[in-house]
Amino acid sequence: MKQPLGFESASPNLVCKLQKTLYGLKQAPRSWFQNLSSTLQSLAFYTTKSDTSLFVKFMPSYTIYVLIYVDEIIITGSSKHEVTTLISQLSECFALKDLDHIHYFLGIEVTYLQNADLLLSQSKYITDLLRHTNMLSTNPLPTPMESTLRLQQDASSAMNDPTLYAQL
């Protein structure tokens, strides 16, 4: 890095201390996540033991869940008012863009039903996977393979190109 314009020093060995991370650096996402985590914890959220990117706030009258994946945040809860309040609190600290209802996330398709229930499905993800592997015309089976099949070490030849297998 170079000294910024307007900063004049006789010693070229001086270094500027950054007050925040620069976008695009390796440490930037981690710093952002730590900042978001500490903000959520100050708002009485805690991380779950099973997933450190899932934050939960249990109160007697409502529950709120916050799921973080890279730079995406999903917020849901039992009280629409409390969810809206949380979004406004977070927007004071972070630049947010509210995309309203979720439709597709991590291969899971979300459909909103009339009775306010959500239908979660991975049919689009599975169809895309079958199309990618040229298996779209295969017939479905109730089990992934024969239950009585005895596998042998030299029963088949090695794959010519294991790239597709590794991608799957």
Domain boundaries along the sequence of the chain: 25-100, 101-140
Could you read off the pLDDT of 15-51 as tens digits, one per residue?
667 666 555 566 667 777 888 899 999 999 999 999 9
First to last CA, the chain: 41
* Cα dihedral 107, 122, 145, 142 in deg (nearest 10): 180
Could you read off the pLDDT of 50-74 as tens digits, one per residue?
998 999 999 999 999 999 888 788 8
**Res 58: pLDDT:** 93
Query: What distance in Å separates the CA atoms of residue 85 and residue 59, rounded to the nearest whole number?
Result: 14
**Res 146: pLDDT:** 79
Average pLDDT over residues 143-161: 79
Query: What distance in Å separates the CA atoms of residue 86 and residue 67, rounded to the nearest whole number?
Result: 13
Give yes or no for residue 122 having a pLDDT over 90.
yes
